[in-house]
Amino acid sequence: MSYLVLALKYRPQTFDEIVGQEHVCETLKNAIASGKVAHAYLFSGPRGIGKTTTARILAKALNCKEGPTPQPCNKCTSCVEIARGSSMDVLEIDGASNRGIDEIRTLRENVKFAPVSSRYKIYIIDEAHQITHDAFNALLKTLEEPPRHIIFMLATTQPERIPPTILSRCQRFSFKLIPQKKIFDRLNYIAEKEKLKIEKEALNLIAYRGEGSLRDAQSLLDQVISYAGGKKIGLEETNFILGVLPFERLVEFSDLIAEHKAREILSLIDEITESGYNLHQFIKDLRQHFRNMLLMKVVGEDRKILQLPDKYLEILLKKGEQFTEENLVRIIDLLSKTYESMKWSEQPRLVIEVDMFRLCQPYIPIGEIIEKIGKLEKSLTLEEKKGEPPREKYVPQAEKTTSKTKEKKEPYAEEVSRIQEIIERWEEVLESVRKQDTPLHTCLAESTPHRLEGNLLYLIFPKNYNFQKDRVEKKSNIVEEALKEILGKEIKIKCITGEINSAPPAPEKIEEEIESASEEFLGEPEPEQEIKAPPQEPSFNSEEKKEVEPIVEKVLKIFEGEIVKEEPEEK
């Protein structure tokens, strides 16, 4: 094969060349130098981070002509054969295709034989978690007490599937994902060696897309080089070949979500789909974009956590001001659910469109709602402590008198005094009625003494309270007896309906209202005439202010609301 891919061409040949696994390499070198080499090793971690490569280097270090040595020469016959994969004493076994008990039995028979030309006979079992449970049990005794010339090296991406009995017989090394900066440095080294014309931003993007795997990043670099065909490789070409949505488009999406422009978002999704971008990758990139904005708001000046160009960081910091931290967490959570739903949906685009509509809905943080509810509860508690009733009842105001009939002022004042006495002792009347007829008391409690003409007391009920009005009229004799018992006077009652919208005046201010009444006499309504209520849907404007109950007014003030429409009570 004339061309060798970068992952093989630049495969590490010594412990010092391994990237991002210093904790493993240092331990192995010290073990070799001190002669404390174990008979079984288990290398675990994600793909493409150097597990099998480390096993090969360890095999070379143990079988090198100069060794065992922490630094294999890579020149002797043993080192060259191991590097080529042709050594008779270093056997690489694929656990996926040699997973049965028969293959393990064959391995047990072969370990009895001494190495052909090397110091140790080494078995490297890749993807060891694929071996069956029975096969592991067959290997158990051999793995625990192998011949002195045998060393086992197991590599796996899923160590949780390895039986505990096997784990306990191996020295376990956990490999970790390689930092993006180290992947970038390695790619930059390769680019210099290959004399590639590639922008730093493009290399940084490839390192980011490697997601901690150097082998994946090297494969992506191979792909980009093939597309460029010897020309200079820029960020735009890298975005195109890797199927990555440009950073500017992600910023455009976040702006539209902040401005709740669902229509423009749908157009942009359609454009992305027509351009051939992978929708699953698009959601991952968008979720990462919002994650970056959240981290910028949290970390502030400490930007090392985000390995992005400075110009991108400034844009993220500025655009992040459009969202609260709580809203960003909500968006990231919803995009994660979108990504999971797309995996099982026959129409992934539909899933994206529906969730984008959700993101465009106005969002009020739950903490703000709880705070406003707390203020409302506190306000209502204070009202109860002050003794203010939850609903204000109607008490007739002093009627106006005319200057031409001043002789009527004294009878009017006497009438107001009598109605005020009834109002003050109305709770006693209600209690007396309750003792005799509880349902009647419930209906009567909805009324308010309106006015007194001689011995005729008018009781006013709220509009549409006809049932309560009729019930009191049918049993008026009980109410009249209660009035006589409490007040010591014969008083008849008459029930009417009307609008109750004013608070009762204080007794000490009755005389002041009489003195300040208008000089023009308005007359008294006929006893049979009902007080007319205002229209059901009054108009509101800056010149006319709607009277509302105090509790309703406080609720409107706390939640910054307004009355749009007032519905009448159902009969």
Q: In terms of domains, do 67 and 186 share one?
A: no
Q: In terms of domains, do 184 and 273 share one?
A: no
Q: What is the DSSP string of 6-50?
A: HHHHT---SGGG-SS-HHHHHHHHHHHHHT---SEEEEE-STTSS
Residue 393 confidence (pLDDT): 46
Residue 406 confidence (pLDDT): 44
Beta bridge partners of 152: 40, 123
- Say whether pLDDT at 308 is over 70: yes
Residue 216 confidence (pLDDT): 93
For position 110, which CATH number holds? 3.40.50.300
**315-348: per-residue pLDDT in tens?**
888 888 888 888 899 999 999 999 999 988 889 8
Number of domains within the chain:
4
Considering the domain boundaries, does residue 434 fall inside one? yes
Q: In terms of domains, do 257 and 237 share one?
A: no
Contact 154, 56 (CB under 8 A): no
Considering the domain boundaries, does residue 268 fall inside one? yes
Pick from 243-252, 329-338, 360-369 the range whose average pLDDT is largest: 329-338
Single residue among 198, 217, 242 that ends a domain in this structure:
242
Mean pLDDT of 23-48: 94
Q: For residue 214, what are its two tokens? A: 């150097």
Mean pLDDT of 513-531: 44
Q: In terms of domains, do 81 and 227 share one?
A: no
Q: In terms of domains, do 263 and 355 share one?
A: yes
Percent of the chain with pLDDT strictly greater than 70: 80
Q: In terms of domains, do 169 and 80 share one?
A: yes
Place of tokens 């008990």: 101
Considering the domain boundaries, does residue 284 fall inside one? yes
**207-228: per-residue pLDDT in tens?**
988 989 999 999 999 999 888 7
- Say whether pLDDT at 540 is over 60: no
Residue 297 confidence (pLDDT): 85
Instruction: Identify the weakest region by mean pLDDT among 9-23, 74-88, 388-402, 440-454.
Output: 388-402
Place of tokens 């009570």: 569
Instruction: Identify the weakest region by mean pLDDT among 77-81, 186-190, 338-342, 538-542.
Output: 538-542
Residue 164 pLDDT level (bands cut at 50, 70, 90):
very high
Residue 555 confidence (pLDDT): 67
For position 275, which CATH number holds? 1.20.272.10
- Say whether pLDDT at 124 is over 90: yes
For position 414, which CATH number holds? 3.30.300.180
Considering the domain boundaries, does residue 525 fall inside one? no
How does the average pLDDT of the chain come out, rounded? 81
Considering the domain boundaries, does residue 157 fall inside one? yes
Q: In terms of domains, do 75 and 150 share one?
A: yes
Instruction: Identify the weakest region by mean pLDDT among 41-50, 108-117, 388-397, 533-542.
Output: 533-542
Single residue among 226, 242, 258 that ends a domain in this structure:
242
Considering the domain boundaries, does residue 556 fall inside one? no
Which residues, other chains included, contact 204 with Cβ-Cβ below 8 Å and sequence gap of 6+? Answer: 180, 184, 307, 308, 309
Considering the domain boundaries, does residue 261 fall inside one? yes
Q: In terms of domains, do 134 and 59 share one?
A: yes
Considering the domain boundaries, does residue 32 fall inside one? yes
**How far is Cα 102 from Cα 93, in angstroms, rounded to an integer?**
14
Q: In terms of domains, do 158 and 22 share one?
A: yes
Residue 52 pLDDT level (bands cut at 50, 70, 90):
very high
- Say whether pLDDT at 144 is over 60: yes
Residue 570 confidence (pLDDT): 55
Residue 365 confidence (pLDDT): 67
Mean pLDDT of 33-58: 94
For position 202, which CATH number holds? 1.10.8.60
Domain hosting 316: range is 247-359
Single residue among 121, 154, 174 that ends a domain in this structure:
174
- Say whether pLDDT at 285 is over 80: yes
Q: In terms of domains, do 435 and 333 share one?
A: no
- Say whether pLDDT at 528 is over 50: no
Q: In terms of domains, do 201 and 268 share one?
A: no
Residue 420 confidence (pLDDT): 83
Looking at per-residue pLDDT, the higher value among 531 and 484 belongs to 484
Q: In terms of domains, do 259 and 232 share one?
A: no
**How far is Cα 259 from Cα 253, in angstroms, rounded to an integer?**
10
